[in-house]
Amino acid sequence: MTVRRRFLNWNRPALVSAADYLFETYAADSTLALDRLIVAVPGSRAGRRLLEILVQQSAERSLALSPPRIVTLGNLPEQLYASAGHFVGPLASQLTWTEALREVGAARLKRVIPELPPADDPSRWLALANLFGQLHAELAGHALRFIDVAECGQELEDFIERDRWLAMAAVQEAYVARLQAAGLADRQWARLQALERGACGTENEIVLVGVADPSRILHHMLEQVQDRLTVLVHAPASLASRFDELGALQVAAWQAAAIELDDEQIVVVEGPADQAEAAVQALASLQGKYSAEDIVVGAPDSRVVPYLEQRFEQFELPCRYADGLPAGRSGPFRLLSAAADYLDGGRFADLASLARHPDLEGWLLAALPREIASGADRLSELDRYYSEHLQAKLTGRWLGGRHAVQGVEALQAAVDRLLGEFDGKRTLAHWADRVARLLVEVYGREPLDRRHASGRIALEACKLLRETLMEAASLPDGFSAEWRAADAIRLFLRQQENEAIPPLPQHAAIEMLGWLELPLDDAPALIVTGFNEGLTPSHVNSDLFLPGGLRRRLGLNDNDRRYARDAYALSVLAASRERLTLIAGRRTAESDPLSPSRLLFACDRPTIARRTLHYFGGGKTPVERKVPRSLSGGRAQSALPIPQPKPLAKPIESMRVTEFRDYLACRYRYYLGHVLKLGCLDDAAEELGPEAFGSLAHEVLRDFGLDSDASRLTDAEAIRKRLDAALDRAAQKHYGKDRLPAVNVQIEQLRLRLGAFASWQASWAAQGWRILFAEAPIDERRASLLVDDRPMYLRARIDRVDMHDATGAIVIFDYKTSDSSRPPDKIHRKKGVWVDLQLPLYRHLAAALQIERPPQLGYIALPKSLSDVGHYLAEWSEEELAAADEAAAKVIRGIRNQEFWPPTSPPPAFSEPFLAICQDSQFGGLLADEEDRP
């Protein structure tokens, strides 16, 4: 007996017709007994839908349904032969390929891989293993071994790669042999062997539905069970010649086939956003005739999906993309991957990442001691600790005060406890167990609710991981190599990270499906986006292993075959849908050019010319835009004003002398910074910033200045020694041993500057100057400026006051550690106008230090150019200083009057922190002429 081939009316959906066929053939009395039937469909979605139809219709006809076994094509072969032994899992398979690669030896392998990865780089070997695994699967699907390629290829005129394929064949043999030794079977190989032994058979009846393009191996296997086979071909009988006896496509016939489409069904637009817009437009043109579940949107190009989702959400169109979330993006995967990174080097940055995982944070809240969990948030503490101490790693050598450290310490302790069992090298089985426990610890504190997004995602992700972990836990004896935990975790994650976690099933949603699912779908309205060349149909010309020519020779899935498959699919869609719209783009989001699909040109020649002009011509008639392009703004002018200052609760009664310049630069930003005390906090620093660098220098110089003998030294070398020691102390105190490497270099740079300072200091002291005060703090109400008869108290930390032994002259100095050195006047006045008042104001602080004579004012600069290290005195006249006081008085009045508006525009230098609040970025790069400060 030969195959029964039945043609289904393609003006109706395939599955509906197929169900009809089953009812006609198998319904009896009150039953529809299909339990002896294997129904094979191309994909699992079609299988589910067929079952739905069967259930629905048997209920309607009051038939008791014994459902058939519904399998996808991928699983059909296993129904056709009896396999012996266990199939190897993906993990073991990958590991076996790796072993096989190494086994054949470098000499042979180099014919395939001229540059072998280093032996100790498991990830690159695994990547190669994957490459082989994929090739193995593809070729075996066509009933080919690597050795066959080496042999067949020779019939090609320009086949020059026999040696390469022979080497690969050796790897493949080694792979199979290793599996066998481990008591495992490779699925592809088992099929191949069953086929070759002629061992395919079944006791069941087999019905193929819409299987137009079975793999070659399946085709051959089906030939061996012909008498049990019924093939339902979704095409009119008049097209019988385009199918072979098993219902598979005759490639040549489909290549020449014309596809009936109206020009109105085709929309060609620019980018992906336009495609989404066209899709919305197409939906609108259905005019409410179809409900959401009667509409499907095809998305051969998954890159268009986000645009579709976004647009649909905008118009409140419910939609559901079954390929939803790749597992790699789910919480559990992200958690493990961040954990692996942290395990890898214990870097601070990786801890900071991990600590930001919301699921981990949830766990932490429960795991931390109550008093710490309820205190300030951990992230800020981490940021603060990092900014202050610039640690590359946290090794338990804590810096700074106990109190500040507590939270960070507890956090790290908790994380380390969680990851505590992950050191050393152990077997994969061991790590699988640890990973499972970790997941349970973090996610299993409470039952997961599968009806809620977060619960469902975590659950599905854990289930995916469980598959891998289970395989790892029960790997046969041959796989006992030891791994580092981080590598093992990454290996586990890689197995399933591209699997999709489908969204919650949703009643009444527009489904978005991939191209392959469309032919067997039965929604009456269909909109296909991404209808572009390279996707529908896809093509392979050049290739690492199987370029087009070789594919053609081997009868592999070549371009002609891909075209035929999609030509058939499109013909089915055109025939079976009530409404069909095809949308193609002309470029990707990254501006790569795209062409509309060749399938749109499977028509008569005049139509080809017309469509060409239309799709490729620049002079397209612009379609009138009905769909609003974007979010519609609610107003004619944005109502996002810069927040106005609010009246102060308490008047400002004291100021730091350094604040004046900020007020002079911008009163609003002064308000933000000094009144509201707003500031950035992050952990982005790669090295000491200007302020930290300055503080470190100041601290060293203060230590030096406080030491009264030191300040009298006139021997540069001796001074340098003291400074060196002070620098080492300060660096150790603030930055410890685990500081960022850049900091080390910076400290050395500072040492050089201090060295130059030592020389200056020696000669300065030799001139008879000695240090009177170092870092003299003046706060509380010790000094003030009287303005309008009211005091404004001044606060400051004066870096240094020197006195001349002989003359009793006094100089007040400020240390400057910025890269460049500029004399005080350059910094304090611009074009004669006071922009900074720090030094002049020091005069008013002198009294608080019991200095009676009018002091001189100046800088001691330690700039990058060592020859410029030294003192720079200000030479302002009394009138000039009086003008400075007047300027200060103005500032004080302004502050008393709460004049904090408007912001200076364009923004002054150093206002980046407030860029967003002050809406400065419309100036783009206008924040120019920056000067080095402080």
Partner 1 sequence: MSPLRFNHVMIRASAGTGKTFQLSNRYLGLVSQGAAVDQILASTFTRKAAGEILDRVLVRLAEAAVSDQTCRALADYIRDSSLSRPRALELLEGLVQNLHRLRISTLDSFFSQIAASLSLELGLPPGWRIVEPSADDRLRTEAIHAVLAESDSKTTLALMHLLTKGEATRSVSDQIRDLVNSLYGLYLETTAKAWQALPRAKGLSGQELEAALQQLASAPPPADKRCVTARDKDLERAQQQDWDSFIAAGISAKVAAGETSYYKKELDPQLLDAYRKLLQHAKAMLVARLADQTEATWQLLEKFDAHYQRLKLARRALRFDDVTRKLSGAAFAGQIEQLSYRLDSRLSHLLLDEFQDTSLLQWNVIRPFADEVFGGAPGRSSFFCVGDVKQAIYGWRGGVAELFDVLGDTWSALQHQALSCSYRSSPAVIETVNKAFENLAGSPVLDNFSQAVQAWAQGFALHSTARSNLPGYARMHVAPRAGDGEKQETITLKFAAEEVARLAREAPDCSVGALVRDNQAVARLIFELRQRGIQASEEGGNPLTDSPAVTVVLSLLTLADHPGDTVARFHVSQSPLGPIVGLDDHADATAAGRVSLSVRRHLLNHGYGPTIYRWARELAQSCDGRDARRLMQLVELAYRYEDDATLRTRDFVHFVESQKVEDPTTAQVRVMTIHQSKGLEFDIVVLPQLDVRLSGQPPAVVVGRPKPTQPVNFVCRYANKELQALLPREVQQIFERQSGQAIRESLCVLYVALSRAAHALHMIIAPSSSSEKNLPATFAGLLRSTLGDGRKAEPGETLYEHGEQDWHVHHSGKAPEAVDKELRTASATASNSASGAQSPPAFKVALAPSLQRRTRGLDRQSPSGLEGGETVDLAYLMRLDAAGALERGTVFHAWFEQIEWLDDGAPAEATLNDAALRLGASQAQAARWLKEFREMLARPATRACLMQSDYARQAPWSAAGALAAGWDAAELSYEVHRERRFAVRDGDAILTGSLDRLVLIHREGRLAAAEVLDFKTDAVKADQQVQLEAAVARYRPQLAAYRRAVAQMTGLPMEHVFARLLFVEPGLVASV
Stretch that binds ligand SF4, among 50-58, 308-316, 452-460, 589-597 (CB under 6 A): 452-460
Residues ≥6 apart with Cβ < 8 Å to 431: 422, 472, 483, 485, 488, 489, 492
Q: How far apart are CA 865 and CA 850, in angstroms?
A: 36
Question: What is the distance between the alpha carbons of residues 487 and 472, in angstroms, rounded to a whole number?
Answer: 14
Q: How far apart are CA 805 and CA 770, in angstroms?
A: 7
C-beta closer to partner 1: residue 358 or 854? 358
User: Quick one: what does residue 298 bind among ligand SF4, partner 1, none, with the CB cut-off 5 to 8 Å set by partner type?
Assistant: none
Q: Tell the residue number behind the tokens 């086979």, with chain if given.
A: 229
Q: What are phi and psi of 208, to 5 degrees?
A: -100, 130
- Nearest residue (CB) to partner 1, 288 versus 647: 288
* Closer residue to partner 1 (CB): 334 or 795: 334
Report in angstroms how near the CB of residue 516 gets to partner 1 at its nearest.
17
The nearest distance, CB 93 to ligand SF4, in angstroms, is 35
Residue 793 contact among ligand SF4, partner 1, none, beta carbon within 5 to 8 Å by kind: none
Residue 847 interface partner, choices partner 1, ligand SF4, none, CB cut-off 5-8 Å depending on type: none
Query: Least distance from C-beta 573 to partner 1, angstroms?
Result: 17
CB of 179 or CB of 785, closer to partner 1: 179
Give dist(CA 891, CA 885) in Å, integer. Answer: 10
Per CB under 6 A, does 454 bind ligand SF4? yes
Query: Which is nearer to ligand SF4, 314 or 454 (by Cβ)?
Result: 454
Q: Please say which residue, 244 or 359, places its beta carbon nearer to partner 1.
A: 359
- Least distance to partner 1, CB of residue 55, Å: 5
Measured from the CB atom, the residue of 250 and 454 that comes closer to ligand SF4 is 454
Considering CB distances under 5 to 8 angstroms, the limit depending on partner class, which of ligand SF4, partner 1, none binds residue 49? partner 1
Q: Which does 369 bind (CB under 5 to 8 A by kind): ligand SF4, partner 1, none?
A: none
Amino acid at 38: I
Q: Is 275:596 a contact under the CB 8 Å cutoff?
A: no
The yes or no reply on residue 55 touching ligand SF4 (CB under 6 A) is: no
Nearer to ligand SF4, 226 or 454 (CB): 454
Contact 330, 299 (CB under 8 A): no
Q: What is the dihedral of CA 381, 385, 391, 392, to 10 degrees?
A: 20
Torsion of CA 349, 350, 354, 355, to 10 degrees: -30
Reading the block at residue 469, the tokens are: 């972990």
| 161-167 long-range Cβ contacts below 8 angstroms, 24+ apart | 163/111, 164/111, 164/112, 166/111, 167/104, 167/108, 167/109, 167/111, 167/112
Query: How many residues comprise the chain?
Result: 934
Residue whose Cβ sits closest to ligand SF4: 454
CB of 93 to partner 1, least distance (A): 16
| Shortest Å distance, C-beta 442 to ligand SF4 | 15
Judged by beta carbon distances under 5 to 8 A according to partner kind, the member of ligand SF4, partner 1, none in contact with residue 547 is partner 1
Considering only the stretches 447-455, 685-693, 804-812, 871-879, report the one whose residues sit in contact with ligand SF4 under the rule CB under 6 A.
447-455
- d(Cα 378, Cα 355) in Å, to the nearest integer? 8
The entry of partner 1, ligand SF4, none that residue 753 binds, CB within 5 to 8 Å by partner kind = partner 1
Residue 226 or 406: which CB sits closer to partner 1? 406
* Rounded-to-integer distance, Cα 724 and Cα 754, Å: 8
Specify whether the CB–CB gap between 94 and 133 falls below 8 A.
yes
Q: CA-to-CA distance for 523 and 513, rounded, in angstroms?
A: 11
Spell out the residues 6+ positions from residue 344 whose beta carbon is closer than 8 angstroms to its own. Answer: 350, 486
Interacting partner of 52 out of ligand SF4, partner 1, none (Cβ under 5 to 8 A depending on kind)? partner 1
Partner in contact with 91, chosen from ligand SF4, partner 1, none, beta carbon below 5 to 8 Å by kind: none
Nearer to ligand SF4, 106 or 504 (CB): 504
Least CB distance from residue 453 to ligand SF4, whole Å? Answer: 4
Gap between the Cα atoms of 596 and 585, Å rounded? 7
State yes or no: residue 324 binds ligand SF4 (CB under 6 A): no
Tokens of 196: 């070759």
Residues 546, 540 contacting (CB under 8 angstroms): yes
* Footprint of ligand SF4 on 143-202 (CB under 6 A): none
Q: Which of 452, 646, 770, 830 binds ligand SF4 (CB under 6 A)?
A: 452
Q: Residue 226 CB, nearest distance to partner 1 (Å)?
A: 24
431 or 769: whose CB is closer to partner 1?
431
Whether residue 88 contacts residue 96, with contact meaning beta carbons closer than 8 Å, is answered with yes
Q: Which is nearer to partner 1, 635 or 650 (CB)?
A: 635
Query: What residues numbered 911-930 form the site for ligand SF4, per CB under 6 A?
Result: none
List Cβ neighbours of 660 (8 Å cut-off, separation of 6 or more). Answer: 836, 837, 838, 841, 887, 888, 891
Least Cβ distance, residue 509 to ligand SF4 (angstroms)? 18
Q: Is 659 helix (H, G, I), strand (E, B) or coil?
A: helix
Partner that binds at residue 344, options partner 1, ligand SF4, none, CB closer than 5 to 8 Å by kind:
none
Q: Which 3 state secondary structure label does DSSP give 516?
A: helix
Beta bridge partners of 583: 267
Nearer to ligand SF4, 456 or 800 (CB): 456
787, interface contact from partner 1, ligand SF4, none, CB < 5-8 Å by kind: none
504 part of the interface to ligand SF4, by CB under 6 A: no
Question: Using CA atoms, how far apart are residues 132 and 853, in angstroms rounded to an integer?
Answer: 87
| The one segment of 272-280, 318-326, 448-456, 537-545 that binds ligand SF4 by CB under 6 A | 448-456
Residue 901: how many other CB atoms lie within 10 Å: 11
Q: How far is the CB of 692 from partner 1 (least distance, A)?
A: 10
Q: Which residue of 55, 177, 237, 453 would you call a contact of ligand SF4, by CB under 6 A?
A: 453
Which listed option, partner 1, ligand SF4, none, makes contact with residue 902 (CB within 5 to 8 Å by class)? none
Q: CA 660, CA 84: separation in Å to the nearest integer? A: 86
Q: How far is the CB of 894 from partner 1 (least distance, A)?
A: 21
Give the nearer residue to ligand SF4 in terms of CB position, either 61 or 452: 452
The secondary structure of residue 182, as a DSSP letter, is T
- What is the distance between the alpha carbons of residues 78 and 910, in angstroms, rounded to a whole number? 70
Nearer to ligand SF4, 453 or 508 (CB): 453
902 preceded by a cis bond (ω within 30 of 0): yes
- Please report how close the Cβ of residue 358 comes to ligand SF4 at its closest, in angstroms: 8
Q: How far apart are CA 323 and CA 320, in angstroms?
A: 9
User: Alpha-carbon torsion 594, 598, 604, 605, what sign?
Assistant: positive
Hey, what are 398's tokens? 């804590």
Q: CB 918 → partner 1: shortest distance, Å? A: 10
Specify the amino acid at residue 175: Y
Residue 434 Cβ vs partner 1, minimum distance, rounded to whole Å = 10
Q: How far is the CB of 928 from partner 1 (least distance, A)?
A: 7
What is the DSSP secondary structure assignment for residue 108, as one 8-state letter?
Answer: H
Give, as one character, the DSSP assignment of residue 393: B
Number of residues that bind ligand SF4 (CB under 6 A): 3
Q: Cβ of residue 431: shortest distance to partner 1, in angstroms?
A: 11
By a kind-dependent CB cut-off of 5 to 8 A, residue 718 interacts, out of partner 1, ligand SF4, none, with: none
- Nearest CB to partner 1, comparing residues 259 and 810: 259
Give the binding site for ligand SF4 (CB under 6 A): 452-454
